[in-house]
Structure 1
């Protein structure tokens, strides 16, 4: 990939709180949402937890600076014996967009899923998120499912 940068992908650490929050706030702003401070605190603590039900987080660093993140979790599935992996949040800072950070984070989740014996990794995106979908079409397969949820 032209213009790609090789990021260091690593697990979230307690000292990452400020950088993680900056990246996650930018991700949420992209989706035109914000959350109460309590959700940030609870989510960060869950990401650092050792409960198998908790989320996991990987950070992408370039030159020692966090520039991207991915949140994922493993869960049971009625159609499989093995757990599956849900990639919930993926974000690369605007300064590194188009340089392969998103792909590297997805591939790191694929590796984590393989290591955990989870044969399937899936995620959702908005239909009009054309930039991200260009990447997703290269690293995944569109399942053709439409998401519904309980009205607020």
Structure 2
């Protein structure tokens, strides 16, 4: 399988949605067509600083996605690029799509003057972590989530 990486395009809607549903299912999120549609709109339009990339096969069919967004880093007075979502279709795994998307993210970050590309994953996501370990360094930071309250 020969792959390349490019920004998402309107023609990717159906394939992107299938990949994103696969991503959500992998992380045991409920099926939510509205969330998929909203995220597609954000990624496609660049809302919230989002950048959408896809790895495509020889037929220009998306087989993997990466959703990234720019963020401010006040402690260093720099910006970073955050990888929110990365997912490869099961039939394309092992072909290098994730690594290509990570390399493209690093190039995008450098071109945009970012000081880091950052992401999180679950501790037990061993297959993905083996790819991530080839491209980045795991940090000691622990992530917390707090519900908004009035």
How far residue 6 of structure 1 moved from its aligned partner, in angstroms, is 4.0
C-alpha distance in structure 2 between counterparts of 1:91 and 1:61, whole Å = 13
Quote the residue 1:59 is aligned against.
54
Runs of 4 or more off by more than 6 Å in structure 1?
A: none
Deviation at 1:39, TM superposition (A): 1.9
1: CA distance, partners of 2:50 / 2:17:
15
Cα distance in 2 for partners of 1:50, 1:99 equals 28
Gaps of 5+ in 1: none
In structure 2, the gaps of 5 or more residues are none
Tell me whether 1:108 sits opposite 2:129 in the alignment.
Answer: no
Alpha carbons 1:110, 1:121 under 8 Å: kept: yes
Task: For 1:36 and 1:91, locate their aligned partners in 2 and report how far apart those are by CA, in whole Å.
Answer: 17
3-state SS of 1:56 partner? strand
If the length of structure 1 is used for normalisation, what is the TM-score? Answer: 0.90
Paired residue for 2:77, among 77, 81, 86?
A: 81
Equivalent in the alignment of 2:132 = 136
Q: What RMSD in Å do the two structures reach over aligned CA positions?
A: 1.6
Contact kept in structure 1, 2:8 and 2:53, CA below 8 Å: yes
- For 1:63-122, what per-residue CA distance to the aligned partner results, in whole angstroms no more than 9, with x for missing partners? 222100000000111212221110010011111112211000011111111111102001
Shift of 1:50: 4.3
Say which SS state the counterpart of residue 26 (structure 1) adopts: helix
Secondary structure in 2 matching 1:15: helix
